[in-house]
Amino acid sequence: MSAIASTAARHADTELDRLLAELAAYRSCDPPRLSLPPRAFTSPELYELERTRVFGRSWMLVAHRDELASPGDYVSLTIAGEPVVVTRDEDGALHAMSPVCRHRLMPLVEPGHGRADDFTCPYHLWKYRLDGRLKGATFMKGNPDFDPAACRLPGFAVEEWQGLVYVNLDAGAPSLASRLAPAAEELAPFRMDEMVQVVTVEEEWRVNWKLTLENGYENYHVMGFHPETLDPFMPGRGDMELHPIDGGALWARMPFAATLPRGAVPLPREHRANATVMLTFPTGGLITFGDQITWLSFIPLSIDRTQVRGGVLMPPALLDGLDPQEVAEEQTAAATAVNEEDRIGLEAVQRAVGSRFAGRGHLSPKEPGVLLFYRALAEALVPEETPGRA
């Protein structure tokens, strides 16, 4: 290594160490009530660490069951640069796997969604089944070292919870459902498991993924970003009553003042007067709007680009007698309006994170959720506490 390269490498280590030490402080029972260091949004070394320590082992919300309703349905995406495809096979089982051809690395399917009987590699036409097993490999009989039965796409863990589909790149990860039991209890009156997805949201925002999540863990910004769309019936001044679950997940309630004209699901008073939010670290979230639910997941594409996947869920009874097309258009307009406000605001923040004069800001008492997010981030990134820090 040249002298310049080794000096640069030492500098990077020092900077990453400094960032991790600052993050580790959020694990304390008296964490700094400060926003993240701006370098947390721009450091390539930190992003590399996030790829392994956060996204390599977390349950990621990626889809709703309705996007994978029939055999052959698939959803293809990348999770922090790692290609993933989720499929429904002929027997109705869900699978998640790496869609990178085992021959010479060709992606078997582009990001998006669709339906397929199998995946044929566009390069030399090897074919894979919906569960990842090899179905056939052209002109391979003459290679005695090649065992088709042993050739399959690496599988990931996949789990459906209340209709939401989660993937974990760590195939041996412990199940998610038991961890989310407290949230399931809170959400039980909504009968989410019976809901249907009337709108699918797919957007790309030019932001670091952590900016989207900080924003999702508080309602303080509703006053600024959503004065006309959300604030009139979900006021940012209202308190968010937090119920943390371990591992950075939480459910929360906040005041909800809209009247529910249709009321397809009989909700108890506290659920009519409040919106329930559920967040699962690192990127998944949902919010109830009366008897319908919007879910969103902010999945990093790179250090400064985030894919937003989500959907609007409704009870089937709410759709009785309505034109599905009209419902979809109305709901798309509502979801898009709020998302646009967040996107425009957060992309502006992203443009400022590299400022030489940017610093850490003091947090409001209205941002305890942000500290929970920082704590979960610190627990994932700094498994051992840094010496000298509580």
Q: Using CB under 5 A, list all residues that contact Fe ion.
A: 342
Q: How far is the CB of 102 from ligand FES (least distance, A)?
A: 8
Contact pick of 16, 21, 106, 358 for ligand FES (by CB under 6 A): 106
Q: What residue number has its CB nearest to Fe ion?
A: 342
Which ranges of 128-255 would DSSP assign to H, the alpha helix?
A: 181-187, 209-216, 222-225
Q: What whole-number distance in Å separates Cα of residue 173 and Cα of residue 227?
A: 41
**Window 121 to 150, contacts with ligand FES (CB under 6 A):** 121, 123-124, 126
CB of 121 to ligand FES, least distance (A): 3
Residue 105 C-beta: closest distance to Fe ion, Å: 39
Window contacting ligand FES (CB under 6 A); options: 116-124, 194-202, 266-274, 294-302: 116-124
Distance of CA 200 to the CA centre of its chain: 14
The sheet that has 82-88: what strands, in order across it? Answer: 59-64, 164-168, 155-161, 94-97, 82-88, 73-79, 112-115
Contacted entry of Fe ion, ligand FES, none for residue 291, CB cut-off 5 to 8 Å set by kind? none
Residue 103 contacts ligand FES per CB under 6 A: yes
And the tokens for 124? Answer: 């030399």
Q: Give every strand in the sheet of 196-205, ordered side by side.
A: 196-205, 305-314, 292-302, 284-289, 274-280, 250-255, 241-244
342's contact among ligand FES, Fe ion, none, with CB below 5 to 8 A by partner kind, is: Fe ion
CA distance 158 to 96: 6
Residues 6+ apart with CB under 8 A from 84: 62, 76, 77, 78, 96, 97, 98, 99, 156, 167, 169
Q: At its nearest, how many Å lie between ligand FES and the CB of residue 306?
A: 29
* Partner whose footprint covers residue 104, from ligand FES, Fe ion, none (CB < 5 to 8 Å by kind): ligand FES
Q: Report the residue number, 11 or 104, with the smaller CB distance to ligand FES.
A: 104
Count of CB atoms situated within 10 Å of the CB of 69: 12
Shorter beta-carbon distance to ligand FES: residue 100 or 327:
100
* Cβ 78 to ligand FES shortest distance, Å: 18
Residues 179-238 within binding reach of ligand FES (CB under 6 A): none
Residue 20 and residue 293: Cα distance in Å, rounded? 36
Residue tagged 């680009």 (tokens):
305
Q: Give the single-character DSSP code of 295.
A: E
Q: Considering the complex, what minimum distance in angstroms separates the CB of residue 205 from Fe ion? A: 12
Q: How far is the C-alpha of 57 from the C-alpha of 50, rounded, in Å? A: 10
Task: Using CB under 6 A, count the residues that bind ligand FES.
Answer: 8
Q: Does 323 engage in binding with ligand FES (CB under 6 A)?
A: no
Closer by beta carbon to ligand FES, 124 or else 152: 124
Compute the distance between CA of residue 114 and CA of residue 358 in angstroms, rounded to an integer: 43
CB of 85 to ligand FES, least distance (A): 14
Q: Which of 18, 104, 237, 360 binds ligand FES (CB under 6 A)?
A: 104
Closer to Fe ion by CB, 216 or 368: give it. 216
Q: Nearer Cβ to Fe ion, position 67 or 342? A: 342
Count of residues for the chain? Answer: 390
Q: Does 272 bind ligand FES (CB under 6 A)?
A: no
Rounded CA-CA distance 83/81 in Å is 6
Closest approach, Cβ 144 to ligand FES, in A, equals 19
Binding ligand FES (rule: CB under 6 A), the pick from 101, 109, 346, 372 is 101
Which positions touch ligand FES (CB under 6 A)? 101, 103-104, 106, 121, 123-124, 126
